[in-house]
Amino acid sequence: MNSPSKTFLITGGAGFIGSHLSKYLLQRGHTVYALDNLSTGSMENITDIRSNPDFHSRFHFVRDDIMNEMVLDRITSQVDIVVHLAAAVGVQLIVEKPVHTIETNIMGSEAVLKTALRYGCRVMLASTSEVYGKGVKIPFNENDDVLLGNTGKSRWAYAASKMIDEFLGLAYHQEYGLEVVPFRLFNTVGARQTGRYGMVIPRFVQQALRGEPIRVFGDGTQSRCFCDVRDVVEAIYGLSLSNEAAGTLFNVGSSEEISIMDLAKKVKHLSGSASEIVLIPYSEAYPPGFEDMQRRMPDTTRINTLLGWKPTHSLDQILQSVIDFERSRQ
């Protein structure tokens, strides 16, 4: 998709998805401001960007928090599109730090939307499949009702906070005419993703390559659909330029479903590992307040109809890219 050069602000720009998106945009001639406090992002993620002479004049990294109103205002005044990716990420972090999760997600999104309204920027608002909660109608459609667990389970604080983000973003569109595009991500994976906060694929791959037991939480029958980050950034980019996308929610993910036990077996096979696969009860894996969902599969008809987008990388290709990346770091 070719378009006139634009200037983007990516919050969480040194994170896993943010760094991939930054490079993708730069390769297409756009200018990128990456704002990140490095709480979960990393300078290592953007090393190749910063060392590329073709990007020097068009890539600007700012180490700060989205809650710094002066910094956020200064950057936003110079951009056309804000891609708001900064958030509390990972099941482990969410369960262990619920206050941080709620405040970061809701107050951060509010700050971004207020500032974007001031300058009339389009806002790409990242949300999550967690919002579907305990939904049992597969695949999940953007118009489905939502059923969350009780407030005593801190796991649901993340889903509820991202729902508020969506409500707020759509309200800014409805009430003020701000171009806001919320999109729900389903298990985005690929090279550079950290296993530090409970992300399953890098965790499995690291365990397999080290010859450690591959630890499957629960009984392993829970299933997920994993979408390559390279496909996800194409979807975000396409939505960011679409005149028809504003004010509409989009699922972004893959429909290639696999159980977590079969995922562990596939990682073991592709990495040539001799690791054993062991089951770990949730009570040992997470603090109190965790609750899991059995299946997650998106209906991506809406984005496919608008953009013709669909994932192009298979799960085997995704896993191989993560295995190759982790091997390169050993």
Lookup result for tokens 């299933």: 223
Residues in the chain: 330
- How far apart are alpha carbons 11 and 38 in whole angstroms? 11
For residue 79, what are the β-bridge partners? Answer: none
197 is catalytic: no
Catalytic, out of 24, 132, 158, 237: 158
Burial code (b: 16+ CB inside 10 Å, e: under 16) for 28-47 equals: eebbbbbbbbeebbeeebbe
Where are the strands (E) in 101-199, listed by range?
A: 122-128, 180-185, 188-189
Element holding 14 (H helix, E strand): none
**Rg of the chain in Å (alpha carbons):** 19
- Half-sphere exposure at residue 209, Cβ-oriented, CA atoms within 13 angstroms: 17
Name residue 4's amino acid: P
User: Which residues are tagged catalytic?
Assistant: 158
